[in-house]
Structure formats: C-alpha cells, structure tokens
C-alpha cells in the first residue's frame, strides 16, 4: 500500500512539474456564419462582452502550468494577428497559408513541428465556448483525456466510444449508445500520447493527405493506445458555434455564466 501511495504521489508531482503547450485551431472560414465571417475570423465573434478566443485565452492564462499558447490562423489572419498583438502579445500565431484547401489536421501539423516533446499538449478548436470549470478540469486531469459530455448525443458533433473510462474511438459516425459521449473539441495529451499523435499526423502530411480532421489522427491514437481517458463535463456549460442559430443560443446560455 505504501508503495502505491508513493507512486501516485510521484506521478502527481511529475504532472505538476510538466509544462503545458496549448494550440488553438482557428484557421477556418466559418462559412455557415456568413455574413459575420466575411471579414472576421469566427473566433473573434463576440459572446456577451468578450470574443470566443479572448474568453478561452483568459481561462488558460490563469494556470501557471500553461507555458505557451499558439493560435493557428488562416481566414482573415491579419485581423486575428492584430488582435493578438494588441491584447495578448505573448501568444504566438502560426499562419496556415493553405487554409482554404486544407483541414485542421494540416494546421495542427504546423504547430506540432515546433512543440517541445517533454511538455503536455492541449488542443482546442476555436469555435467552442466553455464554462471556466471545464478548462480547469482539463488542465488538472492526471493523464491524457478527451473532454466529453455524457448528457447529450449530437449528430453533427464528434462522439467518443468508451470502455471502462478509456476512449476507444472518436468519430461523427458513432451510433448512440450508453457508452457514447459527445466530444467538446478539447483534448489533453501527456508527452507519450502527444508524441505518438505527432507521428500519426506526420504520416498523413507526408503522404499529401492534407484535408483531414485532427480527430482522424486522434482516432488512430486511441486505437493504438489505451491510455486516453474520457473526462466528463456533464452539467457544465459549453456550446459549439457553427451557425447563426448556434450563436444566438450560445449568447443566451452564457448571458450570466462565468
């Protein structure tokens, strides 16, 4: 028993010592939010006093373990760069010049090639709004995880299949089941899993398969690795914003939320 307690203690200490690198994928056009996104990146759309990106940056910056934050830009990147330079000068921006003909796995690859292999990795899609406690739960989780909501099943969203708390697959096409949760597009990987994910992404890019979702690579990761867990946020507030209706609903949901 003493040996188990000691191992758990050392695991927690190593986790606290490791830094986290965060990448926010924000290169997309956001076509279903036109005309708002004709001249504006989706992540700069305002939700009750602050834009989507600003909200998550403030949530992340409260944590000392977060060593660096990078934003992958594309559509209207100059406006996004100007916002970051003025309001968050320590946040890096990485431009994907091919954002119109590639998908977010390619954007992710531009960041992964410069990350530190010894750090934890958090990946966030820039079109989701989260209650602060969700971001806190992600950062504090001991292990690699996919943040997910067990309380709902959404046809358009990515879903995860789980067995004994571990993620076995991620896809939009997973049928409804008691062991299927909705992914909220927020991922945390410890160095071992992050490095395997990097290898998988590089394989796609090197084969010129540039139009894949990041989740395709994550699905291969969980198929090869049984150390990625579901981190359930049921009962906490979040919203993915793809359409004008989504935007209206998100503004209502977060009218008084933290």
Predicted confidence at residue 1, as pLDDT, reads: 52
Predicted confidence at residue 33, as pLDDT, reads: 82
User: What is each CA distance from 49 to 53, 227, 255, 257, in whole angstroms?
Assistant: 12, 39, 9, 12
Residue 8 has pLDDT above 60, yes or no: no
Residue 2 has pLDDT above 70, yes or no: no
- The residue among 256 and 159 whose pLDDT is bigger is 159
Give the Cβ contact number of residue 118 at 10 Å. Answer: 11
Q: Which helix (H) or strand (E) holds 240?
A: strand 238-240
- For all residues of the chain together, what is the average pLDDT? 89
- The residue among 112 and 12 whose pLDDT is bigger is 112
- The residue among 17 and 147 whose pLDDT is bigger is 147
- Rounded to the nearest angstrom, the gap between the alpha carbon of residue 132 and the centroid of all alpha carbons in its chain is 14
Residue 15 has pLDDT above 60, yes or no: no
- Give the pairing of strands 128-130 and 238-240: antiparallel
Looking at mean pLDDT, say which of 79-88, 98-107, 176-185 comes out highest. Answer: 79-88
Residues near 164 by beta carbon (within 8 Å), at least 6 away in sequence: none
Residue 256 has pLDDT above 90, yes or no: no
CB-CB contact of 72 with 43 (8 Å): no
Nearest-angstrom CA–CA distance, 120 and 72: 18
Phi, psi of 98 (to 5 degrees): -105, 25
Task: Indicate the pTM of the whole model.
Answer: 0.90
Predicted confidence at residue 10, as pLDDT, reads: 41
Predicted confidence at residue 257, as pLDDT, reads: 53
Q: What is the pLDDT of residues 165-203, one digit of tens each?
A: 899 999 999 988 888 999 999 999 999 999 999 999 999
């Amino acid at each position: 028993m003493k040996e188990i307690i000691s191992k758990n203690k050392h695991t927690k200490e190593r986790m606290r010592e490791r830094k986290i690198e965060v990448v926010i994928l924000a290169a997309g056009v956001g076509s279903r939010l036109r005309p708002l996104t004709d001249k504006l990146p989706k992540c700069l759309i305002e939700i009750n006093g602050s834009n989507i990106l600003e909200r998550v940056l403030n949530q992340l910056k409260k944590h000392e373990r977060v060593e660096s934050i990078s934003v992958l830009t594309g559509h209207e990147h100059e406006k996004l760069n100007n916002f970051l330079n003025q309001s968050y000068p320590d946040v890096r921006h990485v431009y994907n010049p091919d954002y119109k003909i590639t998908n977010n796995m390619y954007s992710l690859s531009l960041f992964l090639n410069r990350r530190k292999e010894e750090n934890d990795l958090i990946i966030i899609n820039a079109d989701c709004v989260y209650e602060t406690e969700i971001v806190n739960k992600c950062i504090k989780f001991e292990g690699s995880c996919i943040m997910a909501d067990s309380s709902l099943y959404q046809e358009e969203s990515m879903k995860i299949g789980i067995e004994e708390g571990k993620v076995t697959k991620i896809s939009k096409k997973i049928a409804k089941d008691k062991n299927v949760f909705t992914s909220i597009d927020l991922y945390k990987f410890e160095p071992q899993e992050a490095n395997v994910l990097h290898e998988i992404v590089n394989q796609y890019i090197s084969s010129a398969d540039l139009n894949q979702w990041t989740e395709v690579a994550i699905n291969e990761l969980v198929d090869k690795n049984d150390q990625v867990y579901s981190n359930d946020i049921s009962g906490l507030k979040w919203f993915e914003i793809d359409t004008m209706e989504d935007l209206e609903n998100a503004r209502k949901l977060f009218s008084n939320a933290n």
